[in-house]
Every structure is written in C-alpha cells, then in structure tokens.
Amino acid sequence: MTGASRGIGAACAVALAEAGWDVGLTYAADREACEATAARVVATGRRAAVHRAEARDHADVRAAMDALQDELGPADALVVNAGTTRDGLALRMTAEDWGAPIGVNLDGAFSTIQAVAGGMAERGAGSIVALTSVVGVHGNAGQANYAASKAGIIGLVRSLADELGPSGVRVNAVAPGFIRTRLTDVLPEAQQQQLRDRTALARLGEPEDIAAPVVFLCSERASFVTGTVMMVDGGLNL
C-alpha cells in the first residue's frame, strides 16, 4: 500500500486490515503519520510493516517493495496510492511543476507495480488497484500535469490488465471524485459548497468511501473484474 500516511491511503490500509489482510505501508516524508496508520492496522489484529519509498526513484521503490515482502510474505494484492499535485495554469507551468506529478503519480505507479507484479504472475494470482482520479477522466483547468498523470494511470491499468490477465493477475483503477482530505479541507467554504453542488449526493466523499471499493477489487469477490475504472464520485456533474 503506497501513500499510506493519511487520507485515502490510511483509510484503505485500515479497511484492508479489517478485511483480514496484513498490510505493508510506504511513505515519502511523514514516517510518523505512516506509523500511526500502521498502529491502526495492528489494532485490528493484523500485521503491519512500514518502509520509506521515494516514488520517483525506481530503485528505491523496488527496494521498499522487496523489504515489505521479506517481512510480510509475497504480496497477494497491491494498492498504488502515492500522489502529489502542482496546480497551476499550463502556460505558466515550469518544467519542474509539470514533472513532479508525472514522476510521483505515474512513474511511481509503474515502478511499484513492476516491482510486485512479476511475483504475482509467477504465483498465478494477484490483484493490483491503482488510484486515479475523475480529473484523469474529465480533465480540470489548472491541473494539466495532474490530469495527465492520472489519465496515464488509466492507460497503464488497462494495458497491464491485458498483459497480466493470462497469468491470473487482475489490474483495476478507482477514480475518486472530490473527497474530504487535507487538500479539500483548506478550501474556502464557498468553494467546498460549489463542489457539493456539482455532486448528485450533495456532499464530499469520505476516504472510507474509496476504501470500500478498493477492498472489493482486492478480494476474490472481484475475481472476474479486470481492466476497469471504477468511478467513485457521488454522481459528479462536470
């Protein structure tokens, strides 16, 4: 489970533990928050392991995945959630601002999946779930870099579903809408209300709303589901 320090990642980690999984967790900067997530996993009676992984560093990601599997055993499921944003108008965007979300969100997803999927294919089973976004489906002004990275994840997931399906490995994506996290909590109330007005269910989602479908896709209940993008957006009207 990458990007497990808080928000959607932490909610997914705890929900997986509650469903009976041991959970390996990665973080980029905030070890304390990731350790707190691990403590919540352990409180359910499951095992947890924590390792740092810089998503833009292919070798670092592979080392973290290997370490987690050494500690907890071969991965039966992988949830790819690590992400970042660098919002701004495209015509004013620096090369660094463009590259940061691509490096973390897309390159990091590829590196993480590549580090784990080979073992799954050899064992003939496994489930990979990558977190994309409604922005990757619809685009969003001021987020060309983020949208491109998340759209890339959709293409990656659908391609890998074809490649890995014959080996018994399923690959899917979950596309959250507007979810209550630290990124939305800092928005002015008027802007949060605009988001609620654009959502059929008239509220922002909670991290747990995303965790439930992630757990489903990891489970055998989704044994005939692969190459799909599950929209979890409350009926977003763009």
Say if 238 falls within a structural domain: no
- Residues belonging to the active site: 146
- Three-state DSSP at 10 gives helix
Q: Is 215 left (phi over 0), alpha (psi -120 to 50) or beta?
A: alpha
Say if 211 falls within a structural domain: yes
Q: Which segments of the chain does DSSP mark as H helices, in order? A: 7-18, 31-43, 58-72, 95-101, 108-123, 134-138, 144-164, 182-185, 189-197, 207-218
Assigned token pair, 148: 């491109």
Q: What is the pLDDT of residue 181?
A: 81
Q: Which domain holds residue 192?
A: 7-232
Say if 2 falls within a structural domain: no
Q: What is the pLDDT of residue 43?
A: 98
Closest CA to 130 of 164, 160, 102: 160
Say if 180 falls within a structural domain: yes
Q: What is the pLDDT of residue 188?
A: 82
DSSP summary character for residue 129: E
Say if 1 falls within a structural domain: no
**CATH no. for residue 16?**
3.40.50.720
Burial label, 20 (beta-carbon count in 10 A; 0-12, 13-18, 19+): exposed
pTM: 0.95
Q: Residues 6 or more apart from 163 whose CB is under 8 A from it?
A: none
Q: Is 3 left (phi over 0), alpha (psi -120 to 50) or beta?
A: left
Q: Which residue has the tokens 């409350």?
A: 234
Packing angle of the helix pair 207-218, 7-18 (nearest 10 deg) = 50
Say if 167 falls within a structural domain: yes
Number of domains in the chain: 1
pLDDT values of the chain reduced to their tens digit, one per residue, 238 residues: 999 999 999 999 999 999 999 999 999 999 999 999 999 999 999 999 999 999 999 999 999 999 999 999 999 999 999 999 999 999 999 999 999 999 999 999 999 999 999 999 999 999 999 999 999 999 999 999 999 999 999 999 999 999 999 999 999 999 999 998 877 777 788 888 988 999 999 999 999 999 999 999 999 999 999 999 999 999 998 7
Strand partners, 116: none
Say if 55 falls within a structural domain: yes
Q: What is the pLDDT of residue 191?
A: 83
